[in-house]
Amino acid sequence: MSLDSHITAMNPIFPGSVDAAGQRATLGVMGGGQLGRMFVHAAQRLGYFTAVLDPDAQSPAGLVSHHHIQTSYDDPAGLAQLAHLCQAITTEFENVPAPTLQTLAQTRPVAPGAAVVGIAQNRIAEKAHFAACADLSGVSCAPYAVLETPAQLRSVQAERADLLPGILKTARLGYDGKGQVRVKTAEELAAAWAELGGAACVLEKMLPLTAECSVLVARGWDGQVVSFAPQRNVHVDGILAVTHAYEGNMPVALADRARDAAIAIAHHLGYVGVLCVEFFVVEDGSEHGGLVVNEMAPRPHNSGHYTLDACDASQFDLQVHAMASLPLPQPRQHSPAIMLNLLGDVWFDAEGQLHEPDWQAVLSLPGTHLHLYGKADARAGRKMGHLTITGPDVTSVKTVARRAASLLNLPGQDAI
């Protein structure tokens, strides 16, 4: 089964090459956020020209790209310009309209493709696909029910008491804890659905979680797959706060199952590009065998940013290789790492006054790697950058990470 593309082989787009018309090898990205910015840096380091389509004149990726097409994501003229400039196109976030990717794919290779991005945009479709490949992946999703109509609400209230307590999640546009409401009773479920405007939702059973993890997979046009070891993640208020990336961050058998499941999901989708699959780790002895698939992101992921500093090939390097049909090197992690997410809250003191973080103290710590995303205005909850700590061993990395988190007053310090 291949939802992503009918292409099984593609001529490589070599960096620095020039075609018969004098066109430099150029890779395009839909979206100008920090993921696009890091993709652009990776592509340029290899020698590619880059083009970004994003409506924001100050988009982080647009500011560093060779070309910035400042239009909406469905503007025909902008899409035509992007297709003219580029030999292949990717996306840096899943909410680019899937029809836009279909339009681009008529003339250019697009990775990942519209079908897969469309699935990731809709939790109902996403969970259906996880269920469809459960036999192949060996991992199921949490028990859930679809809620799109008042009749379905009444049916769930009457017949699916097993899903309560649960989490009601909007089918579309929910991320970083947005569009989610915890409910304990049938009455709370009805009230929460009304609060969400009667939007299409899934009600997902709350499970006894012990941890969360994610796996990054890169798959080429020819089906070649490489992956990173699973990383263990800590979220605060639905937003990633800390990523633990080192040997022993989770039991070996569980890590192997997560990696195998992510690869199986990528194959099942016929995926091309970098895919992040997120999992819940549940209490031992449960019917789910300790692991439940939560969701996927058809792009590089916040939890994989440590790969920039701790691995010999980053998730963005693999994104470039996959879309350009270059060989996919199996990445090697050379240092244990902990990544700390830097939200806009870091730029405000206890009284709510704007201030510059104490970078002098933070960067004096050994093994610290600061990445700021070029966003002009700090706001609470806004992803402004990340700090990765690497070192010779896990103990020293944890020690420095705790000190850095304390200096920056970051959440999740007790989980480092």
The pLDDT of residue 23: 86
Q: Which domains does the chain have, with CATH numbers?
A: 143-205 (3.30.1490.20), 209-415 (3.30.470.20)
211 vs 118, 397, 412, CA distance in Å?
28, 20, 13
Low-confidence ranges of the chain (pLDDT < 50): 1
The single-letter DSSP state of residue 141 is B
Half-sphere exposure of 334 (CA within 13 A, CB side): 7
Q: In this structure, are strands 239-245 and 225-227 parallel, antiparallel, or unpaired?
A: unpaired
Q: In this structure, are strands 383-390 and 337-343 parallel, antiparallel, or unpaired?
A: antiparallel
CB 8 within 8 A of CB 221: yes
DSSP string, 246-266: STTSS-HHHHHHHHHHHHHHH
Question: Residue 338's beta-bridge partner residues?
Answer: 244, 389
Q: Which residues are annotated as a binding site?
A: 123, 169, 174-180, 204-207, 212, 235, 294-295
Question: Cis omega before residue 357 (within 30°)?
Answer: no
Tokens read off for 171:
């089918």
The C-alpha atoms of residue 136 and residue 4 are separated, in whole angstroms, by 18
Tokens read off for 85:
């400039």
The C-alpha atoms of residue 279 and residue 43 are separated, in whole angstroms, by 29
Q: Where are the alpha helices (DSSP H) in 106-173?
A: 114-120, 123-132, 134-137, 150-159
The pLDDT of residue 10: 85
The pLDDT of residue 334: 98
The pLDDT of residue 175: 62
Tokens read off for 253:
């058998």
Tokens read off for 411:
């959440």
> How large is the angle between the packed helices 150-159 and 186-195, nearest 10 degrees?
160
The pLDDT of residue 115: 94
Look up residue 223 and give its amino acid: G
Q: Which secondary-structure segment (H or E) carries 404? A: helix 394-408
DSSP string, 41-104: HHHHHHT-EEEEE-S-TT-TTTTTSSEEE-S-TT-HHHHHHHHHH-SEEEESSTTS-HHHHHHH
Q: Which residues are annotated as a binding site for ATP?
A: 123, 169, 174-180, 204-207, 212, 235, 294-295
Look up residue 201 and give its amino acid: C
The C-alpha atoms of residue 306 and residue 244 are separated, in whole angstroms, by 9
pTM over 0.85: yes
Tokens read off for 343:
């939200």
CB 250 within 8 A of CB 281: yes
Question: Residue 273's beta-bridge partner residues?
Answer: 219
The 8 Å CB, 24+ separation contacts for 195-201 are 196/168, 196/170, 199/170, 199/171, 199/172, 200/124, 200/146, 200/147, 200/148, 200/170, 200/171, 200/172, 201/146, 201/147, 201/148, 201/168, 201/169, 201/170, 201/171
SS3 of 320, please?
Answer: helix
Query: pLDDT per residue over 114-163, tens digit each?
Result: 999 999 999 999 999 999 999 888 999 999 999 999 999 999 999 999 99
Tokens read off for 195:
């609060």
Backbone angle region of 231, left / alpha / beta, with phi > 0 → left and psi within -120 to 50 → alpha:
beta
